[in-house]
Structure 1
């Protein structure tokens, strides 16, 4: 695949992410179909997305397309990775950026043995004074792992801004609605939908007005991207 996805099973990737918490700062992105479409049409700055230290596949659809080119992608959704990291034995302090205080308190109650730092995330416009001030606050805050849970691509831009601002160590995870899933504010697709690669359908049926454009109008563009970048542009295509 054109994107440089990380390789390894879930346990290997989880250990790799945990190790990054003690290393010079880096951030992890979790591409799905929507992310790739916005990256290929220029709605996401390429340097922000490709500047990630680790890129972990969050889409079974992308994994199926990769298999057509003879490549196996490990699918590790950001919500699963977040839950696994919180439940692991790694001694880490977690920063939480995105959820409101009530969601943060619910998360703390769910994981009483963990250390958490709350970083307020008001409605931010990248490049605004409020944005810059929040980046500085997060840059100086106490955390080994920062759960960056705001909308795509704002969370990726925020994680990138932390590197520009000189965050010395730790890892930021761009993991969207992960905290909402853990605290019950949103519900993931049933296992059968996940196993059949139909999580997108569950979300569409659950939130039709919000998800119609993403999954019905924009989503199918992934197949044109695949043909252009992986089939016709390939010497063996």
Structure 2
């Protein structure tokens, strides 16, 4: 599927992520269909994903396609991983920075998880390559944290995690987990469980935010099936 996804049970993946917190710097990406499409067509630099130390599948659609090739691809959505992380006693004692949400959202999160050492890093409106972007990278690279939850839009969070290494970050792990904090604080609603079980989370998001999600799910998203047939089943490159 163009990426070397992690295998194993969720608990093992979470243990691995927590174990990265006090190791040499690394970052975790959670690709979904939209990410893979943009990676294939070059809108996201390949080295950003190749530089990730752990790639965890965040798409049941990708898992279904993998099954057609006889591959079991575990799915561990970034929002689920963030929830499990913040509830885990194993993460207590780690400094967990949060980059993306505003101060009010961060304060809500901290109130929900008082046992965790949560720290806020301001994330102004960022455009990669600008002076503001470079300044934000430097601030985050020098800040005191073991884990950084990067909760900005794709692909900014992946580019940001990649840039921290170039900025000289020596230790810790960045998790690219999108809207996870918004889900945890109720600012956004996840699809009902039945939608998740039927692999229809995309439909729930489309119905909830039609203008924002129409292009992603109706125009661009279906390209994954044509690509899969062409490259995975027919073997053309």
TM-score by length of 1: 0.97
**What are the Cα deviations for residues 153-199 of structure 1, in whole angstroms up to 9, with x where unaligned?**
00000000001111111100000000000000000000000000000
Shift in Å at residue 77 of structure 1? 0.1
Contact 1:103 1:180 survives alignment (8 Å): yes
Which runs of no fewer than 5 residues in structure 2 stay unpaired?
A: none
211, 221, 232: which one pairs with 1:230?
A: 232
User: Which of 208, 211, 216 is residue 210 of structure 2 equivalent to?
Assistant: 208
Secondary structure in 1 matching 2:89: coil
SS of 1:39 mapped into structure 2 = helix
Distance, in Å, in 2 between the alignment partners of 1:52 and 1:232 is: 29
Question: Which secondary structure does the structure 2 equivalent of 1:21 belong to?
Answer: helix
User: 2:189 aligns to what?
Assistant: 187
Say whether the 8 Å CA contact 1:27–1:54 is kept in structure 2. yes
TM-score by length of structure 2 reads 0.97
**Structure 1 residue 230: Cα displacement:** 1.3
Q: Name the stretch that deviates more: 70-79 or 117-126.
A: 117-126
Q: Structure 1 residue 217 and structure 2 residue 219: aligned? A: yes
Unaligned 5+ segments in structure 1 are none
User: Are the counterparts in 2 of residues 2 and 230 from structure 1 also a CA contact under 8 Å?
Assistant: no
SS in 2 for 1:172: strand
Q: CA deviation at 1:2?
A: 2.9
* Cα pair 1:32 1:58 within 8 Å, conserved: yes
Aligned to 2:34: 34
CA distance in 2, matches of 1:190, 1:200: 11
For the aligned residues, what is the CA RMSD? 1.1
Partner of 1:22: 22
Q: Note closer, same or farther for the CA distance 1:18–1:234 as it changes in structure 2 (3 Å cut).
A: farther
How far is 1:67 from its partner?
0.2
1:6-51 C-alpha deviation (Å, 9 max, x unpaired): 0101000000000010110000000100000111011101101221
Alignment-derived partner of residue 66 in structure 2: 66
C-alpha distance in structure 2 between counterparts of 1:204 and 1:29, whole Å = 23
- CA distance in 1: counterparts of 2:75 and 2:216, whole angstroms: 20
